[in-house]
């Protein structure tokens, strides 16, 4: 199994809390979790930091490693980048300015709305789609880093479909630093730019950027961590400056459909929820969607308002975003033709060969044959008692040399057929799967 040093992940396991209950293994979309010796293990090469295991673990043993707000004090000038989803977190906030000023009250010198950068990306996306008709369709949004990572692990044939434009977070980080340098005269490294994040995938995208050599963002503070202090700041505000500079399109990026709507194309579509996204990516691989121009994919249900590091019910947050955006202009930001190069990513995502059985085709075929043979000997119950999420995953682990057939208790029972030990083994099998001797 590849070591964790090769792949940074914000999603981690707290071993002390893990009871080995196997709840998480079948919910992981990339089958990245095994349970061994009573504790979960995350296979670093497969994990996409989607946060599903954080959501489902009943013992809070999975968590996202993130920065605390104190980190901003390491810099002379601090800028907050609020995600559009933040606007839907707090009740009675009808005026975005109130929220942005409250953020400054937490110790930031400036606030740069990610929603403003999102409007530039919407404009750039429209232009890119129009000017690059020769690229096979549909093109796929680069905004959700869990989806980008999912494509690099499970759908590498689709990497070229990922639109080569900055995510709004990266674009906001770039513009925020430029503005701070211009306004303060400080060196770029004296300025700290921090994303207020709804999800762990964005944290990973900062530490290990898939779009730039080095991220334009210095760190990430979770929405649910700053939520209490932010609410308290709102109560203390005496006067507020007019610093809002994003319209309806930018704020809509906080929920499913906002990005697709920003392309103003009937041939754009939006999907949310990791399983739905995987189904759709399968259809794109099979060339069933070539009439669709652009696809917005969100790993979380509801879009970023559904991220595991948010504080509010996603449906309530969505209703608030709808209300807030109602009285705003359509858009307050665009990209001129001369600026288009600035929003193009420095590098492309690279395939992570986590699912390849071998680099050599013949060896890979042999391993696949062995895998299928093994699978035929397993009960196909996908019960998880072996610590793998499915019988197929166990067969794959055996072929890769990670474990042995002895992990399958049903195999052991079958091997003991006719011996006195068979009933003893049957008795320790979980009740739904026991078989009484006729």
Minimum separation from the CB atom of position 111 to ligand SF4 (A): 29
- Distance from the Cα of residue 404 to its chain's centroid: 32
Shortest reach from residue 204's CB to ligand SF4, in Å: 9
The C-alpha angle 392, 396, 397, rounded to 5 degrees, equals 120
Q: Are 200 and 48 in contact (CB under 8 A)?
A: no
Residue 207 within binding range of ligand SF4, rule CB under 6 A: no
Q: How far is the CB of 244 from ligand SF4 (least distance, A)?
A: 33
Q: How far is the CB of 387 from ligand SF4 (least distance, A)?
A: 9
> CB 10 → ligand SF4: shortest distance, Å?
9
Tell the smallest beta-carbon distance from residue 231 to ligand SF4 (Å): 28
Supply the DSSP string of 397-416, one letter for each residue: HHHTTS--GGG-HHHHHHHT
Distances (CA, A) of 184 to 172, 175, 178, 179, 394: 18, 14, 10, 9, 57
61 binds ligand SF4 (CB under 6 A): yes
State in angstroms the smallest separation of the CB of 62 from ligand SF4: 5
- For residue 14, the minimal CB distance to ligand SF4 (Å) is 8
Q: Where are the beta strands (DSSP E) in 187-279?
A: 191-197, 219-222, 268-272
Which range of residues in 28-36, 100-108, 254-262, 263-271 is near ligand SF4 by CB under 6 A? 28-36
- Beta strand 191-197 with 77-82: parallel, antiparallel or unpaired? parallel
| Overall residue count recorded for the chain in this entry | 438
- Establish if 21 lies at the interface with ligand SF4 (CB under 6 A): yes
153 binds ligand SF4 (CB under 6 A): no
Q: Which stretch binds ligand SF4 (CB under 6 A): 33-41, 243-251, 261-269, 354-362?
A: 33-41
Cβ proximity to ligand SF4: between 300 and 335 the closer is 300
Among 52-60, 130-138, 276-284, 347-355, the segment contacting ligand SF4 (CB under 6 A): 52-60
Establish if 35 lies at the interface with ligand SF4 (CB under 6 A).
yes
CA distance 23 to 216: 36
The answer to whether 64 contacts ligand SF4 (rule: CB under 6 A) is no
Specify the stretch interacting with ligand SF4 by CB under 6 A; choose among 34-42, 155-163, 324-332, 404-412: 34-42
Question: How is the chain split among helix, strand and coil, in percent rounded to 5?
Answer: 45, 10, 45
Cα dihedral value 83, 88, 89, 90, nearest 10: 130
**48 vs 280 by CB, closer to ligand SF4:** 48
10 vs 233, which CB is nearer to ligand SF4? Answer: 10
Contact of 163 with 27, CB cutoff 8 Å = no
- If the CB atoms of residues 26 and 212 are measured against ligand SF4, the closer one turns out to be 26
Q: Which helix (H) or strand (E) holds 314?
A: helix 314-325
Taking the CA of residue 65 as centre, how many other CA atoms within 13 Å lie in the half-sphere pointing to its CB?
11
Would you count residue 22 as binding ligand SF4 (CB under 6 A)? Answer: yes
Q: Per rule CB under 6 A, is residue 48 in the interface with ligand SF4?
A: yes
Closest approach of Cβ 44 to ligand SF4, in Å?
9
Strands (DSSP E) contained in 285-329 are: 294-298
| 53 is a contact residue toward ligand SF4 (CB under 6 A) | yes
Q: Which is nearer to ligand SF4, 30 or 224 (CB)?
A: 30
DSSP states of 165-187 as a string? B--HHHHHHHHHHHHHHHHH---
Residue in 236, 331, 245, 304 with CA at minimum distance from that of residue 89: 304
User: With binding defined as CB under 6 A, does residue 203 bind ligand SF4?
Assistant: no
Residues at the contact surface with ligand SF4, assessed by CB under 6 A: 11, 13, 18-24, 28, 30, 32-33, 35, 40, 42, 47-53, 57, 59, 61-62
């Amino acid at each position: 199994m590849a070591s964790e040093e090769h792949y940074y992940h914000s999603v981690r396991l707290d071993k002390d809390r893990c009871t080995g209950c196997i709840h998480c293994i079948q919910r992981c979309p990339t089958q990245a979790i095994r349970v061994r010796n009573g504790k979960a293990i995350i296979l670093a090469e497969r994990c996409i930091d989607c946060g599903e295991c954080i959501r489902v673990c009943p013992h809070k043993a999975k968590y996202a490693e993130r920065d605390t707000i104190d980190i901003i004090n390491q810099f002379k000038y601090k800028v907050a980048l609020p995600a559009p989803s933040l606007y839907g977190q707090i009740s009675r906030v009808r005026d975005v300015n109130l929220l942005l000023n409250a953020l400054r009250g937490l110790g930031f010198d400036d606030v740069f709305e990610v929603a403003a950068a999102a409007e530039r990306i919407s404009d750039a996306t429209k232009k890119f789609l129009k000017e690059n008709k020769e690229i096979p369709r549909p093109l796929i949004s680069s905004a959700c880093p869990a989806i980008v990572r999912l494509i690099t692990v499970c759908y590498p044939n689709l990497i070229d479909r990922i639109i080569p434009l900055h995510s709004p977070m990266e674009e906001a980080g770039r513009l925020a630093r430029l503005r701070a340098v211009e306004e303060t005269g400080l060196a770029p490294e004296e300025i700290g730019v921090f994303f207020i994040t709804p999800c762990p995938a964005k944290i990973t995208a900062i530490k290990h950027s898939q779009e730039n050599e080095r991220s334009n963002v210095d760190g990430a503070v979770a929405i649910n961590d700053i939520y209490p202090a932010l609410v308290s700041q709102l109560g203390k505000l005496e006067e507020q400056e007019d610093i809002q500079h994003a319209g309806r399109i930018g704020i809509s990026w906080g929920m499913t459909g906002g990005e697709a709507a920003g392309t103003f194309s009937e041939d754009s579509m939006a999907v949310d929820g990791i399983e739905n996204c995987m189904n759709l990516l399968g259809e794109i691989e099979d060339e069933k969607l070539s009439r669709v121009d652009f696809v917005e994919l969100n790993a979380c249900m509801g879009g970023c308002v559904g991220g595991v590091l948010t504080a509010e019910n996603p449906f309530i947050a969505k209703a608030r975003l709808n209300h807030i955006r109602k009285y705003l202009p359509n858009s307050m930001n665009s990209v001129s033709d001369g600026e288009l190069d600035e929003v193009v990513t420095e590098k492309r995502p690279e395939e992570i060969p986590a699912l390849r059985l071998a680099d050599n085709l013949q060896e890979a075929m042999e391993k696949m044959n062995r895998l299928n043979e093994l699978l035929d000997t397993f009960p196909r119950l996908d019960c998880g008692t072996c610590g793998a999420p499915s019988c197929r995953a166990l067969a794959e682990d055996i072929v890769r040399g990670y474990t042995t057939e002895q992990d399958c208790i049903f195999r052991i029972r079958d091997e003991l057929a006719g011996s006195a030990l068979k009933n003893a083994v049957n008795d320790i099998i979980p009740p739904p799967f026991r078989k009484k001797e006729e």
